[in-house]
């Protein structure tokens, strides 16, 4: 029997080939290890599920009150499903990586259908799907046991369901994404733009209300559990309860992000017991330098949180050591920076963060082939982001039928970038490219549609209304 493939199926095959090639060949090179499934956070999700399965407590550390909120539940339950049957985490990770590849490749089809559902032509839909099929930062996270790939799948699935007019199911899936990675919070309120477009009146319509209620009802189970069971209202997660994320480390990071956009090289210098470089902006206030030098010295010698990081120069510190002193010193230094140099805190550093988030090129502490590989990959990412922004502007001005999706993707993109780069909470200013993956990949949709529309600009395109 002759088997025929449509063009989108060819794109899906490309996506699968790219991802399996990375699993078989590229992952070891990219991550520099044979055990490329495991990252620094992998066992946080694994251990919390195992704790739930064996003790009934979803926590990273039952002896620490912050441990109950260390990770959101969706990804823990996802990987835990495989572990239940396999009972060996390392073997389960290999199976999970294959599952993540299949889920991620299915996003190619979701993107294609999203574009078709909002009235894009075949060429535009295929371009958008193909861009995701070859997008390197989607590919590299398929093999790592992190929540990135599952989050992407859930977001695209929920997006597709909304454009297919399945509003209650869309809200349910988006809530699962919110319980997987907090980035989804930034998409949830803007997804209704797909229905409302620029109409304010439509925000009070049945589809938007149904979507909102289903999303809220499922997601609310997490903060309700936190408040009524553990006496604390936590909407997402809190970095605490883990041996290496005690308040000495978190306050150090919070201080560093008040003076510059990266915590390196200072963090590595502390755990390796090297001379710590004084940040340039900190030198503007000589009266604070003795306190800062004391904080660095104590962090190296007796701060328990730092001692549990990989590469620490001595044995881990199992008592409180000088935990409170280090945390207090870094907190005082941060508050001093805000008071004495507010322009640097509220303007200079945030724009440094934004520049890094959009145009990051070099990886820290790399050289040779990995350095150049990183530059190529990050450069490609930056080009696609910039082109996606211009495509969004072009489509919004030229085509009314695309304004809904442009508003949804653009608000999602910029709200998260502004929150991370300019925010002042403890979860802000940590500029890691993987955090921006959901926002970046959604910009591939306007880029694909804009590219196809521009290529077909001399053809007569059928008019399609907004979803209604």
Q: Which of 305, 340, 375 is the last residue of a domain?
A: 340
For residues 316 and 370, membership in a common domain is answered with no
Measured CA to CA, the distance from residue 28 to residue 47 in angstroms comes to: 25
For residues 165 and 305, membership in a common domain is answered with no
- Report the pLDDT value the prediction gives residue 464, as an integer from 0 to 100: 46
166 Cβ contact list (under 8 Å, min separation 6): none
How many domains does one find in the chain? 2
**Confidence tier at 365 by pLDDT (50, 70, 90):** low
Measured CA to CA, the distance from residue 28 to residue 418 in angstroms comes to: 34
- Report the pLDDT value the prediction gives residue 205, as an integer from 0 to 100: 94
Measured CA to CA, the distance from residue 242 to residue 250 in angstroms comes to: 11
Measured CA to CA, the distance from residue 104 to residue 110 in angstroms comes to: 10
SS (H, E, C) 12-77: HHHHHHHHHHHHHHHHHHHHCCCCCCCCCCHHHHHHHHHHHHHHCCCCCCCCCHHHHHCCCHHHHH
> Cis ω on the peptide bond leading into residue 246 (within 30° of 0)?
no
Does residue 2 form part of some domain? no
The encoded tokens of residue 436 equal 């921006």
Q: What average pLDDT does range 203-207 have in this prediction?
A: 94
Q: Which of 151, 15, 124, 125 lies closest to 437, judged by CA?
A: 151
For residues 137 and 18, membership in a common domain is answered with yes
Assess contact for 140 and 378: CB atoms under 8 A. no
For residues 26 and 49, membership in a common domain is answered with yes
pLDDT per residue over 146-156, tens digit each? 999 999 999 99
- Report the pLDDT value the prediction gives residue 1, as an integer from 0 to 100: 46
Please give the model's pTM, rounded to 2 decimal places.
0.91
Q: What average pLDDT does range 234-256 have in this prediction?
A: 88
Does residue 66 form part of some domain? yes
For residues 84 and 16, membership in a common domain is answered with yes
DSSP notation for 276-335: PPPPGGGGG-GGGHHHHHHHHHHHHHH-HHHHTSTT-SS----S-TTHHHHHHHHHHHHH
Measured CA to CA, the distance from residue 196 to residue 468 in angstroms comes to: 8
For residues 256 and 186, membership in a common domain is answered with no
Does residue 465 form part of some domain? no
Measured CA to CA, the distance from residue 120 to residue 129 in angstroms comes to: 12
Measured CA to CA, the distance from residue 169 to residue 404 in angstroms comes to: 20
Mean pLDDT of the chain: 92
Nearest 5°: the CA angle 171, 174, 180 is 145
For residues 212 and 301, membership in a common domain is answered with no
- Report the pLDDT value the prediction gives residue 86, as an integer from 0 to 100: 96
Measured CA to CA, the distance from residue 223 to residue 244 in angstroms comes to: 25
Q: What average pLDDT does range 431-450 have in this prediction?
A: 95
For residues 205 and 86, membership in a common domain is answered with yes
- Report the pLDDT value the prediction gives residue 466, as an integer from 0 to 100: 46
For residues 16 and 45, membership in a common domain is answered with yes
For residues 216 and 323, membership in a common domain is answered with no
For residues 211 and 293, membership in a common domain is answered with no
- Domain holding 156, by residue range, is 7-235+360-455
Does residue 462 form part of some domain? no
How many CB atoms sit inside 10 A of residue 82's CB? 16
Q: What average pLDDT does range 463-467 have in this prediction?
A: 47
Measured CA to CA, the distance from residue 153 to residue 61 in angstroms comes to: 29
Assess contact for 198 and 401: CB atoms under 8 A. no
Q: Is the pLDDT of residue 66 over 90?
A: no
Does residue 153 form part of some domain? yes
For residues 152 and 273, membership in a common domain is answered with no
Does residue 464 form part of some domain? no
pLDDT per residue over 160-192, tens digit each? 999 999 999 999 999 999 999 999 999 999 999
The encoded tokens of residue 260 equal 């510059």
- CA dihedral (55, 60, 64, 66) positive or negative: negative
Q: Which of 446, 437, 448, 382 lies closest to 184, judged by CA?
A: 437
Does residue 284 form part of some domain? yes
> Cis ω on the peptide bond leading into residue 265 (within 30° of 0)?
yes
Does residue 364 form part of some domain? yes
């Amino acid at each position: 029997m002759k088997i025929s493939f449509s063009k989108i199926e060819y794109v899906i095959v490309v996506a699968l080939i790219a991802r399996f090639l990375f699993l078989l060949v590229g992952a070891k090179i990219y991550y520099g290890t044979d055990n490329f499934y495991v990252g620094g956070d992998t066992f946080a999700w694994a251990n919390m599920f195992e704790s739930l399965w064996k003790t009934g407590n979803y926590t990273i550390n039952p002896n620490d009150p912050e441990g109950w909120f260390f990770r959101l539940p969706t990804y823990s339950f996802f990987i835990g499903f495989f572990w239940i049957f396999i009972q060996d985490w390392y073997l389960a990770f290999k199976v999970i990586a294959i599952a993540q590849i299949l889920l991620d490749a299915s996003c190619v089809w979701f993107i294609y259908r999203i574009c078709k559902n909002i009235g894009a032509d075949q060429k535009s839909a295929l371009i958008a799907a193909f861009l995701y099929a070859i997008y390197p930062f989607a590919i590299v996270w398929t093999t790592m046991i992190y929540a990135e790939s599952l989050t992407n799948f859930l977001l695209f699935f929920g997006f597709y369901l909304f454009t297919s007019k399945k509003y209650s199911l869309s809200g349910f899936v988006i809530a699962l994404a919110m319980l997987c990675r907090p980035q989804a919070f930034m998409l949830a309120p803007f997804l209704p733009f797909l229905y409302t477009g620029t109409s304010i009146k439509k925000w009070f319509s049945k589809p938007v209300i149904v979507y909102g209620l289903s999303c809220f009802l499922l997601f609310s189970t997490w903060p309700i559990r936190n408040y009524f069971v553990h006496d604390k209202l936590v909407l997402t997660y809190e970095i605490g309860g883990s041996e290496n994320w005690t308040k000495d480390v978190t306050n150090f990071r919070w201080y560093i992000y008040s003076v510059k956009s990266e915590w390196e090289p200072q963090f590595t210098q502390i755990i390796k017991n090297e001379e710590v470089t004084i940040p340039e902006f900190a030198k503007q206030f000589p009266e604070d330098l003795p306190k800062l030098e004391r904080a660095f010295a104590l962090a190296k010698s007796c701060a328990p949180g730092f001692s549990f990081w990989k590469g620490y120069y001595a044995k881990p510190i199992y008592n409180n050591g000088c935990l409170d002193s280090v945390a207090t010193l870094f907190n005082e230094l941060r508050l001093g920076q805000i008071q004495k140099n507010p322009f640097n805190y509220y303007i200079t550093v945030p724009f440094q963060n934004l520049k890094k988030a959009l145009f990051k090129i070099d990886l820290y502490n790399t050289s040779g082939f990995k350095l150049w590989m990183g530059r190529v990959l990050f450069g490609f990412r930056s080009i696609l982001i910039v082109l996606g922004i211009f495509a969004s502007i072009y489509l919004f001005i030229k085509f009314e039928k695309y304004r809904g999706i442009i508003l949804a993707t653009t608000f999602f993109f910029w709200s998260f970038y502004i929150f991370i780069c300019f925010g002042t909470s403890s979860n802000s200013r940590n500029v890691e490219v993987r955090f921006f993956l959901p926002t970046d990949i959604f910009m591939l949709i306007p880029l694909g549609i804009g590219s196809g529309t521009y290529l077909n600009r001399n053809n007569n395109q059928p008019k399609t209304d907004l979803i209604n």
